[in-house]
Homo-oligomer: A and B are copies of this chain.
Amino acid sequence: MPIIHVHLIEGRSIEQKRAMVEKVTQAVCETVNVTPEHVKIIMHDMAKHDYATAGVLKSDEQK
Binding site for B on A (CB under 8 A): 1-9, 12, 14, 16-28, 30-33, 36-37, 39-46, 49-60
A18 touches B58 (CB 8 A): no
> Could you give 16 example pairs across A and B, Cβ below 8 Å?
A1-B58, A3-B3, A3-B6, A3-B7, A12-B32, A14-B59, A17-B50, A20-B27, A20-B28, A21-B56, A22-B55, A23-B28, A41-B51, A41-B52, A42-B46, A43-B52
Q: Determine how many copies of this chain the complex contains.
A: 6
A7 touches B7 (CB 8 A): no
B36 touches A8 (CB 8 A): no
Residue of B nearest to A57 (CB): B18
